[in-house]
Amino acid sequence: MTDEKTIEKLELNKILAEAASFAVLEESKRMLAETRPTAELAEAERMLSLTAEADAALFLHGAGRVEAFPPLADEPERAQKGAALSCGELLAVCGLLRSARVAYRSVLALPPEESPLLREIVSGIYFDETLENDISEKILSPDEVSDYASDELYNIRRSIRSLNERIRAKLAELVGGESAKYLQDGIVTMRDNRYVLPVRAEHKSRIRGFVHDRSASGATFFIEPEQVLEMNNELRELAAAEKEEIERILLQLSRRVGNMAGQLRGDIARLTDLDCAYAKAEYSYKNKCIRPRLNAKGVVDIRKGRHPLLDAKTAVPVSLSLGGNYRMLLVSGPNTGGKTVTLKMCGLFCLMAACGIFLPAAEGTEVAVFQDVFCDIGDAQSIEENLSTFSSHIKNIIGITQRAGADSLVLIDELGGGTDPDEGQAIARAIISFLLSRGCRGIVTTHYTALKEFAYAQGGIENASMEFDRTTLQPLYRISIGVPGSSNAIAICRRLGLSEEILQDAVANLSEGGRQFENILRSAEQSRIEAEEEKKRADALQAEWSAKLAEVNSLRDTLQKEREKLFLTAKVESRRIVNERTGRAEELLAGIEEIAKKSELTEADLIRARTLKNRLADTAFESEKEEQPQPSSRPVDISALHAGDAVFVRAMNARGEVLSVNLKKKEAEVLVGSMRLTVKAKELFAVSAPRKPQERVQVVRKVEPVAAVQTEINLLGKTVAEAVQEVDAFIDRAVLAGLEEVKIIHGMGTGKLKEGIRNHLRTMKNVAEFRSGVYGEGAAGVTVVKLK
Is residue 340 part of an annotated ligand binding site? Answer: yes
Q: Is 488 helix (H, G, I), strand (E, B) or coil?
A: coil
Dist CA 22 CA 280 (whole Å): 8
Q: At what angle do helices 226-258 and 129-138 cross, to 10 degrees?
A: 160
Is residue 339 part of an annotated ligand binding site? Answer: yes
End-to-end CA distance of the chain: 102
Is residue 692 part of an annotated ligand binding site? Answer: no
Nearest CA-CA partner of 488 in 506, 471, 473, 500: 473
Dist CA 235 CA 238 (whole Å): 5
Is residue 116 part of an annotated ligand binding site? Answer: no
Amino acid at 738: G
**Sequence-distant contacts of 157-160: CB under 8 A, at least 24 apart:** 157/242, 159/238, 160/235, 160/238, 160/239, 160/242
Q: Is 321 helix (H, G, I), strand (E, B) or coil?
A: strand
Dist CA 519 CA 512 (whole Å): 11
* Cβ-contact 304, 317 below 8 angstroms: yes
SS3 content of the chain, % helix, strand, coil (to 5): 50, 20, 30
Dist CA 288 CA 528 (whole Å): 31
In Å, how far are 377, 398, 415, 506, 552 from 401, measured between CA atoms? 15, 5, 13, 37, 62
Cβ atoms within 10 A of the Cβ of 271, count? Answer: 26
Is residue 773 part of an annotated ligand binding site? Answer: no
Is residue 342 part of an annotated ligand binding site? Answer: no
For 627-670, the DSSP string reads PPPPEEEEEP-GGG--TT-EEEETTTTEEEEEEEEETTTTEEEE
Dist CA 124 CA 512 (whole Å): 74
69 CB contacts (<8 Å, ≥6 apart)? 25, 92, 95, 96, 98, 99
233 CB contacts (<8 Å, ≥6 apart)? none
Is residue 471 part of an annotated ligand binding site? Answer: no
Is residue 336 part of an annotated ligand binding site? Answer: yes
Nearest CA-CA partner of 6 in 411, 309, 336, 321: 411
265 CB contacts (<8 Å, ≥6 apart)? 76
* Cβ-contact 35, 343 below 8 angstroms: no
What are the binding residues?
333-340
Residue ranges of the annotated binding site for ATP are 333-340
